[in-house]
Amino acid sequence: MSTPPRPPYDPELKTVIDQAFADGMPFYYGIDDLPTLREGASIGASAEPTLALSPGSTHKERTIAGPNGDIQVSILRPSSFDATKQHPAILFYHPGGMIMGNRFTGLTALAPYLDLCNAIVISPEYRLAPEHPAPIPFEDAYAVLKWAGDKFAELCINPDRLLVAGTSGGGAICAGVMLLARERGGPKVCGQLLVAPMLDDRCDSVSAHQFEAEGGHWSSRSNRFAWRCVLGTRWGTPDVKDFEVPGLVTDLSGLPPTYLEVGSAEVCRDEVVAFASTLWESGVQAELHVWPGGGTISLYTCPMLMYPRKLSIQDINGSRST
């Protein structure tokens, strides 16, 4: 089947993508690429780049017990941290398609909120597929939410101002964790922020076909590969749990206010739009931004996209001044 017409990339983004392909970036990823991808993600894996963007902020690590073993957690505190006060907090699930990355991947995008919102940032090392298929990554991630909820006082977190956030595969984790929290009566959060989230394992939308073999940073073929790693033999079958594939859920009532963003020129565009529609149909407040010409990697890093994201985080956690 021929590739249908598709929206063009933003010219600046296209220059970056073209150079990446010229430098040897594959058009799509498979199992043989995982070691190299993971090695690349591990280079410089530390909190230092994030701390450099927020002078005076601090980083510490905790190890917590999870259902599948210990989970490493990074905690960043703003320069204005006061142990006698309660602070807003962001629980962040890192990108990487649930198959690569670590708790520091994409963390620099959270640096502005340390100072802007006086927020604590928590980022866990959830286990990755295919070595740890679903439900393991989701259960790890939920365990960290539950731990944070049990430790509000110790962590100096305002229990009314905990936000969960995730990008790409971390967006799938984040949305899944909210469904688990709804099912299990888990900790309440003030909102969720989903950036270019993977939500639908079927990969059969218009945008999935538009970016079948070449999706900039993440093609539809790469997306299917990641979902196969996550779901194993259950991929593409009805034998999946709601929290494992949030885009298949038809009733999203009871979820927190949600901010979503996605690029017009990327694989997950249509499933994100559909998820926003289902939220509205379910009576949930949601805000959706579709960035013209944007692709997945641009949403991690583009400075001009930070403004509406900042305002939405401030609105959700109540920290915007009036």
pLDDT of residue 18: 78
Question: Domains in the chain, please, with CATH?
Answer: 11-317 (3.40.50.1820)
pLDDT of residue 309: 55
Cα–Cα distance, 131 to 127 (Å, whole number): 8
pLDDT of residue 170: 98
pLDDT bucket at 3, cuts 50 / 70 / 90 = confident
pLDDT of residue 29: 78
Q: What is the pLDDT of residues 203-236, one digit of tens each?
A: 999 999 999 977 556 889 999 999 999 999 999 9
pLDDT of residue 25: 67
pLDDT of residue 254: 98
pLDDT over 90 at 10, yes or no: no
pLDDT of residue 126: 99
What string of DSSP letters covers 226-238? HHHHHHGGGTTSS
Q: What is the pLDDT of residues 93-141, one digit of tens each?
A: 999 999 999 999 999 999 999 988 899 999 999 999 999 999 999 999 9
- Give mean pLDDT, residues 68-88: 98
What's the one-letter identity of residue 279? L
pLDDT over 90 at 90, yes or no: yes
pLDDT over 70 at 16, yes or no: yes
Helix (H/G/I), strand (E/B), else coil: 239: coil
H-helix segments, the chain: 11-22, 34-42, 48-53, 111-116, 136-150, 152-155, 169-184, 206-210, 220-231, 269-281, 296-301, 306-317
